[in-house]
Amino acid sequence: MIPQFTHEAQSSFTLWFDHYLLQKGQAYTNRTGVLVYNADSQLPSSYKSFSSQYKQWVADSSISGAVVPSGFYVGGNFSGRSDNLLIDFDNGRVISNGSSSAVVTGAFCQKEFNVYTTNEDLEDLIIERKFISPRKVGTNLAPSYIPPYQQVLPAVFISNQTQENTPFAFGGMDTTTVRMSATVICENSYQLDGVLSLFADTNDKVIAHIPFDKVPYTQYWDIKSGEYNYDNLSAQYMASGLPLFIEAAKTSKITDKLRKNIANDLYIGFIDFELAQQRYPGH
């Protein structure tokens, strides 16, 4: 099936949300360190995975001051994509076709809030899901790296709730309203209040509608072209197409009384967005 409007709206919104949180919130920290080998049965047998204590990593080179790696040192020699090295920004790791005993080191930038898309309901997400706390990684309670595909706090989970078309102009143009929800799960109130406050002020923001095939990541969460700059990508499609417009952004959070009934004692809030775009459905 070819990508539909909903696919593109959600991916465009997620790219914008991640960029806005990093840029306006300055929610990132540069790191250096040694990556640890760990076997991953989901990778081809020739690939070796070397993971860090942090995920996700910043891939967006438009974030001022963030170190976006183009390669890492493997056995003391710098290796990049031309050496068949893959950088998995989502899982905070490097994938190499070299030896599993190689020493892999380098510099990268850790996101302070991991951003995920999800279709899970709130009960599964908040009550059933078990998250990794970054405070325990590297202690005697956990390994010195974060295993791939694990979800780490603090985090934001973005989901598409509804889509509705209403007539806007003669000729079949409608206003399509898409409701996006961001569930924010944190370990303290400072983190939660910061994210909610930042996005409560995003009414009237405009988001570029980026085609689905222009999403910058590969299947291994490396960058397709070797560089990803959200400002440049956004400007390209802001000029050539109809953008998404944030008509409303409303925040709320679980009270302390309810929060204490959750086993993990997490701080949880919600941001509900209404996005609108004038378009010709079915054309």
How confident is the model over 119-168, as pLDDT tens digits?
877 666 766 556 766 655 554 444 588 889 988 999 999 999 999 999 99
CA-wise closest residue to 85 among 264, 220, 238: 220
- 66: tokens are 């963030």
C-alpha 137: how far from its chain's center?
A: 20
pLDDT of res. 237: 94
**Helix axes of 230-240 and 5-25: crossing angle, nearest 10 degrees:** 130
Query: Which residues have CB under 8 Å from 192's CB, separation 6+?
Result: 154, 184, 186, 253, 267, 268, 269
**To the nearest whole number, what is the mean pLDDT of the chain?**
90
pLDDT of residue 135: 53
Flag the least confident range among 10-24, 216-230, 247-261. Answer: 247-261
Work out the number of other CB atoms within 10 angstroms of the CB of residue 104.
23
The H or E element containing residue 12 is helix 5-25
Question: What is the percentage of the chain residues whose pLDDT exceeds 90?
Answer: 72
For the whole model, what pTM was predicted? 0.92
Q: What angle do CA 7, 10, 14 make, to 5 degrees?
A: 140
Beta bridge pairs of residue 49: 95
| pLDDT value for 120 | 76
**Does residue 204 carry a pLDDT above 60?**
yes
Q: CA 55, CA 51: separation in Å to the nearest integer?
A: 9
Question: How much is the pLDDT for 208?
Answer: 97
Average pLDDT over every residue of 18-46: 95
Check pLDDT > 80 for residue 219. Answer: yes
Tokens at residue 79, please?
């290796």
Work out the burial of residue 91: count CB atoms within 10 Å of its CB; fewer than 13 is exposed, 13-18 middle, 19 or more buried: buried
Is the pLDDT reported for residue 273 higher than 80? yes
Top-confidence residue, 250 or 3: 250
Q: Which residue has the higher pLDDT, 5 or 241?
A: 5
Q: Give yes or no for residue 241 having a pLDDT over 80.
A: no
Q: Which residue has the higher pLDDT, 139 or 53?
A: 53
Residue 230, pLDDT score: 98
Q: What is the pLDDT of residue 141?
A: 47
Give me the domain span that covers residue 187: 5-279
- Residue-wise pLDDT tens digits, 252-261: 998 776 666 6
Strand-pair category, 114-117 with 155-169: parallel
pLDDT tens-place string over residues 65-96: 999 999 999 999 999 999 999 999 999 999 99
pLDDT of residue 170: 82
Share of the chain above pLDDT 70, in %: 89
Comparing 167-171, 215-219, 231-235, which segment has the lowest mean pLDDT?
Answer: 167-171
Mean pLDDT of 192-210: 97
Q: Which residue did the predictor score with more confidence, 268 or 170? A: 268
Lowest mean pLDDT among 30-44, 114-128, 167-181, 210-224: 114-128
What's the confidence (pLDDT) of residue 127? 62
pLDDT for res 245:
96
State how many domains the chain has.
1
